[in-house]
Structure 1
């Protein structure tokens, strides 16, 4: 059964596959927002804070 399916996929028009490949290449990739880690020293302890979208998350 799998071999028949593969043959059917191969019989499709090559133009369609080329179009889809070119469309994939032209698509814009979404940029991931980077999470910055700010480190501050309080006495002897290192305190790490995660910052998203320039808003600091306060450590409770």
Structure 2
């Protein structure tokens, strides 16, 4: 299962351009190299897990914008 939340493009006044979607925090650590893709496995995604994720992460992020 994949959950995605999209928003409109954001304008950055200091750079005088739209945000390009890149983050500058792509550093390497002792655990993984720079640019490695990192995923976490969740045992089961059922109704309660999905609802909890929406209520605690997605909806508050939308409201604060």
More helix by share: 1
Q: Compare CA radii of gyration and give the structure with the larger one.
A: 1
**Band the TM-score falls in, shorter-chain normalisation:** under 0.3
More strand by share: 1
TM-score by length of 1: 0.25
